[in-house]
């Protein structure tokens, strides 16, 4: 980082990195390159946003704005009661590489989530999470060039030994970035690693696999610094990761008991018993199908008389057969027999657990809304009061905060957010949208997202004594721009971190609205189910 090269600033994104994960690896000298950046520069905790999940947090990082401005609140986007996986057309603000392009600077971006399909800019982009396995890239034909140069390149790990396939993904991220940096000679580079998050969703207790993946990240970081010689390096994570020592709170069961949620048996929609489906989908395989029409009809009939998938699942769990059945029963069969939330008939419900909030079924906004606009505020206030009073079986509050959406989101896309925001206490409790007939149970995932990630910066123009005590996810974009002497957008919610001299702020026109396109990719949906993002 001492010799000036074409690459002026490198932003390294390490999904879910945090002190709890990194400190033991630093103590054992497992990450010498990353440790060197911390030692030569400055570092500290990085507060994430609400909600602190990948699909919303990375757009917040690369736009510098809250979801109420950029428009992505979850892995899912909703149109009435229908849903789709989010993609880049749902991001309604410029990414930093697009803003830099308008200032005459070029970029190479590799593996950043929610960047497919890419918009044109000066440089190159390989999309990350929520892209299909063979995504459109920028420029056209780039993926074929990368694969010809470095060999196989996948957006998602292939099936196989978990540590090996995740390590291969990490390796190809670094190799692809170095090839593209050499080819395009960018001013700015953004290299993101996702496997550091995925491993905790799959095997949080597999310390050997976690260390294997992080060691490979460090090796790729070392090779990239040596090959590209950036003047400045910024390392940032979108959120933290840690154990959930509390309960699973099934918020739709609570809302059902309180009279807000109506249920239906069978049919389409978001199924609410995930045990069988996820047992299949979490292996990344197509569900096994055997005369699905007959099976689905049978499950629908059974559900109509009360023999729902939830009841079948509970019985199978008691006798130890749930995992076996999960390997052979198609997901469509489970859906046909599931008790689910009847969204059109419900007053309020949770659509996606990682939105961290409740949606009101509002007349005039939702296709079959049942809450008149005149009653919206009173219904919302009653929901907030009821949820604030929820306590665990141990008598502890479930939520640190329950608030109207405007307490957390502001901007022209805020009307796409939940109506009531629910923030778990210390992120110790796992919120679930599933209907299981009981409000509380053990967490479905023993480790999950925490609010505090990490940030580090070193190199030219970085003050090692800079104070990062109050660093926030929204601060990353204006800080990166400052290292390139580009003023931040005055609408950015973040500020330049104290370790870097600011370049001022100016008004940039808002990104011209474009029509959203559907993701509608079953492979992407399976991968999200694989990580527990889709219940």
Quick check: 333 pLDDT over 90? Answer: no
**pLDDT, position 282:** 33
Binned at pLDDT 50, 70 and 90, residue 531 comes out as low
Task: Indicate the CATH number for domain 9-244+454-530.
Answer: 3.40.720.10
| 24-40: average pLDDT | 98
How distant is the alpha carbon of residue 188 from its chain centre? 23
pLDDT on residue 456: 98
Q: Give the Cα separation of 251 and 137 in Å (integer).
A: 39
449-477 pLDDT, tens per residue?
999 999 999 999 999 999 898 999 999 99
Closest CA to 348 of 356, 357, 339: 357
Is the per-residue pLDDT at 135 higher than 70?
A: yes
Residue with tokens 């007959």: 294
Contacts of 434 (CB under 8 A, 6+ apart): 250, 252, 272, 273, 274, 535
pLDDT band at 430 (very low <50, low <70, confident <90, very high): very high
Residue spans of alpha helices (H) in 162-206: 162-184, 195-202
Using CA atoms, how far apart are residues 203 and 209, in angstroms rounded to an integer?
8
Q: How far apart are CA 86 and CA 520, in angstroms?
A: 9
Name the band, by pLDDT with cuts 50, 70 and 90, for residue 318. Answer: low
In 101-258, the DSSP E strands lie at 107-112, 123-127, 188-193, 232-236, 240-243, 248-250
Give me the pLDDT at residue 451, please. 97
- At 161 the pLDDT is 83
pLDDT at 272 over 90: no
Q: What is the residue extent of each domain of the chain?
A: 9-244+454-530, 248-447
Per DSSP, 500 falls in state B
Structure confidence at residue 174 (pLDDT): 98
> What is the token pair recorded at 416?
């796409």
Model confidence pLDDT, tens digit, residues 515-527: 677 775 666 656 6
pLDDT score of 287: 33
Residue 185 to residues 182, 253, 362: CA-CA distances in angstroms?
6, 54, 51
Q: What percent of the chain has pLDDT over 90?
A: 77
Q: Give yes or no for residue 64 having a pLDDT over 50.
A: yes
104's tokens: 């005459």
Distance, CA of 512 to CA of 101 (rounded, Å): 16
What would the mean pLDDT of 202-227 be, rounded to a whole number? Answer: 97
Tens digit of each residue's pLDDT (9 = 90 or more) over 1-11:
444 358 999 99
Q: Which of 207-221, 330-344, 463-477 shows the lowest per-residue confidence on average (mean pLDDT)?
A: 330-344
533, two tokens:
């993002």
Record the tokens describing residue 54, joined without a space. Answer: 């990948």
Mean pLDDT of 121-145: 97
For residue 157, the SS3 value is: coil
User: Taking the CB of residue 392, how many other CB atoms lie within 10 A of it?
Assistant: 16
Query: What percentage of the chain has pLDDT greater than the value 70?
Result: 82
In this prediction, residues 76-103 reach a mean pLDDT of 95
Residues 430/284, Cβ–Cβ less than 8 Å: no
Please name the helix (run of DSSP H) or strand (run of DSSP E) that holds residue 531, with its range, or none. Answer: none
Residue 535 pLDDT grade (very low, low, confident, very high; cuts 50, 70, 90): low
Measured CA to CA, the distance from residue 375 to residue 226 in angstroms comes to 61
- Does position 131 have pLDDT exceeding 50, yes or no? yes
The stretch 167-182 carries a mean pLDDT of 98
Gyration radius (Cα) of the chain, Å:
23
Task: Classify strands 357-360 and 420-424 as parallel, antiparallel or unpaired.
Answer: antiparallel
Q: What's residue 183's pLDDT? A: 97
Report whether pLDDT(207) > 70: yes
More confident residue, 134 or 6: 134
Beta strands in 312-356 (DSSP E): 339-341, 348-349
Question: What's the pLDDT tens digit per position in 106-121?
Answer: 999 999 999 999 999 9
Query: Higher model confidence: residue 218 or residue 509?
Result: 218
Q: What is the mean pLDDT of the chain?
A: 88
Say yes or no to pLDDT of 271 above 50: no
């Amino acid at each position: 980082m001492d010799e000036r090269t074409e690459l002026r600033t490198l932003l390294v994104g390490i999904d879910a990195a945090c002190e709890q994960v990194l400190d033991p690896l630093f103590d054992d000298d497992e990450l010498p390159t990353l440790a060197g950046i911390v030692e030569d520069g400055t570092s500290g905790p990085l507060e994430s946003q609400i909600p602190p999940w990948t699909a919303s947090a990375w757009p917040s990082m690369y736009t510098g704005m809250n979801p109420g401005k950029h428009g992505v609140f979850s892995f899912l986007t909703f149109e009435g009661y229908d849903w789709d996986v989010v993609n880049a057309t749902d991001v309604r603000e410029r990414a930093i590489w697009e803003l830099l392009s308008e200032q005459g600077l070029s970029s190479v971006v590799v593996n950043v989530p929610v960047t497919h399909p890419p918009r044109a800019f000066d440089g190159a982009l390989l999309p990350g999470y929520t892209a299909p396995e063979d995504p459109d890239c920028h420029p056209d034909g780039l993926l074929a060039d990368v694969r010809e140069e470095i060999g196989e390149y996948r957006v998602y790990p292939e099936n196989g030994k978990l540590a090996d396939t995740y390590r291969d993904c990490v390796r190809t991220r670094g190799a692809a970035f170095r090839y593209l940096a050499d080819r395009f000679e960018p001013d700015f580079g953004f290299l993101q690693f996702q496997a550091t998050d995925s491993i905790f969703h799959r095997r949080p207790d597999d310390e050997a696999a976690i260390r294997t993946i992080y060691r490979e990240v460090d090796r790729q970081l070392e090779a990239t610094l040596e090959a590209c010689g950036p003047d400045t390096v910024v390392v940032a994570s979108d959120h933290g990761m840690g154990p959930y020592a509390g309960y699973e709170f099934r918020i739709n069961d609570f809302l059902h008991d309180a009279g807000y949620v109506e249920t239906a048996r069978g049919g389409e929609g978001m199924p609410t018993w995930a045990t069988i489906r996820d047992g299949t989908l979490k292996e990344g395989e197509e569900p096994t199908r055997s005369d699905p029409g007959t099976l689905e009809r049978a499950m629908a009939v059974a559900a109509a008389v009360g023999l729902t998938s939830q009841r079948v699942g509970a019985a199978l769990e008691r006798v130890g057969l749930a995992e076996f059945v999960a390997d052979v029963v198609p997901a469509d069969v489970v859906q046909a027999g599931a008790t689910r939330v009847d969204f059109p008939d419900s007053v309020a419900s949770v659509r996606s657990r990682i939105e961290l909030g409740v949606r009101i079924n509002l007349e005039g906004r939702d296709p079959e809304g049942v809450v008149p606009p005149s009653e919206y505020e009173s219904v919302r206030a009653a929901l907030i009061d009821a949820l604030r009073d929820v306590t665990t079986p141990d008598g502890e509050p479930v939520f640190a905060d329950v608030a109207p959406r405007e307490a957390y989101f502001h901007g022209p896309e805020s009307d796409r957010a939940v109506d009531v925001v629910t923030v778990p206490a210390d992120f110790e409790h796992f919120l679930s949208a599933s209907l299981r007939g009981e409000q509380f149970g053990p967490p479905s995932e023993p480790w999950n997202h925490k609010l505090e990630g990490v940030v580090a910066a070193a190199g030219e123009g970085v003050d090692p004594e800079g104070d990062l005590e109050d660093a926030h996810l929204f601060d990353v974009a204006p800080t990166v721009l400052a290292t390139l002497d580009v003023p931040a957008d005055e609408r950015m919610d973040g500020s330049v971190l104290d370790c870097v001299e600011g370049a001022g702020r100016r008004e940039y026109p808002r990104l011209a609205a474009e029509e959203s396109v559907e993701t509608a990719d079953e492979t992407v949906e399976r991968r999200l189910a694989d990580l527990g993002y889709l219940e």
